[in-house]
Amino acid sequence: MKAAVYYETGAPTVFRYEDVPDPQLNPQGVLIDVQAVSIEGGDVLNRAGGDMPAKPHIVGYQCAGVIREVGAGVTDRKPGQRVSAFMPHGSHASMASVLASQTWVLPDAIDINEAATVPVPWGTADDCLFEFGHLKAGETVLIQAGAGGVGLAAIQLAKRAGATVLATASSDDKLERLKEFGLDHGINYRTHEFVAEVRKLTGGRGADLVVDSVGGKTLQGSLESLAYRGRAITVGNAGRDAATRPDVGVLMQGNRSLTGVFLGAESLVNPARVRAMVQRHFDDIAAGKLRVVIDRTYPLSEAAAAHAYIESRAAFGRVVLTV
């Protein structure tokens, strides 16, 4: 099969487009002919300096395509079905071997490129807002990096739940575009100090919930943006500033809380809940009740260019590799 691989971590230029052996079928899994790959933030971070279980390494944990073959122990999947899947790594390739339990059979109405982008960002946004964030109608939520995959999902889900939605982004243009997805108040973090803006927009009270996928110094500001008894969710390090640790003393001052969320762990501990929750999002997207935004598509052979575009921070929504 063809794959975008690398032999060492580093800049996007480490990618090589090569022939590699086909993946092995797990008895409890399926082999997928990949048609679309959603490039996630974790893919970019792992390529830049993450673990490499093998050389060459195939990065990526989310894709969609058509089942080619099912394992001997699989009874609820069959060849020819369109599925979306997530896995520890291996999505940047023309074939993927995935446990059947980590796939979703797709509604007929959903586009395959859109389907590739759904499980992790939408499942993560839902868990951040509701399962762990306990968001209620009438509350105010601040969503960091609103124009990213998790951000766009969280804005739509929070607005649908009756919340007042604030979000940050790197340009006024992005913030203007976010209004059609449910954004009430946008904050350009390049031109405004977002903590002060949150306080101003909430009459000095602060946000009831903050969803922070950026981490580092931004997470400190997220904690300072909270209302009394507010909740902050940390769900990534998109800002690539892992060395910075927040001063959690600000939590005690207002009886606030900080919770870490990782959909991968939840899908292992409570798989039935996660599977059903993500399936609801597939159904709602297929029905036009929620929207996926794809900024650009690149062929798999141009994975380096796609990763470089994501790192430019110009993207609005997802970047997809097509096979």
| Helix (H/G/I), strand (E/B), else coil: 313 | coil
* Residue pointed to by tokens 């979306």: 84
Reported as a single tens digit per residue, the pLDDT across 23-72 is 999 999 999 999 999 999 999 999 999 999 999 999 999 999 999 999 99
| pLDDT computed for residue 81 by the predictor | 98
Reported as a single tens digit per residue, the pLDDT across 194-228 is 999 999 999 999 999 999 999 999 999 999 999 99
| pLDDT computed for residue 116 by the predictor | 98
Provide mean pLDDT across the span 116-123: 97
- Element of type H or E holding 152: helix 149-160
Whether domain 2-117+292-322 has CATH 3.30.465.10: no
For 3, list phi and psi in degrees, rounded to 5.
-155, 150
Supply the pTM of this predicted model.
0.94
- What residues does 185 pair with on adjacent strands? 166
* Residue pointed to by tokens 């292992």: 268
All structural domains of the chain with their residue ranges: 2-117+292-322, 121-264
Is there a cis peptide before residue 107, judged by omega within 30 degrees of 0?
A: no
Instruction: Give, in words, the CATH class of 121-264.
Output: alpha beta
Q: Are 222 and 212 in contact (CB under 8 A)?
A: yes
Q: Average model confidence (pLDDT) for the chain?
A: 96
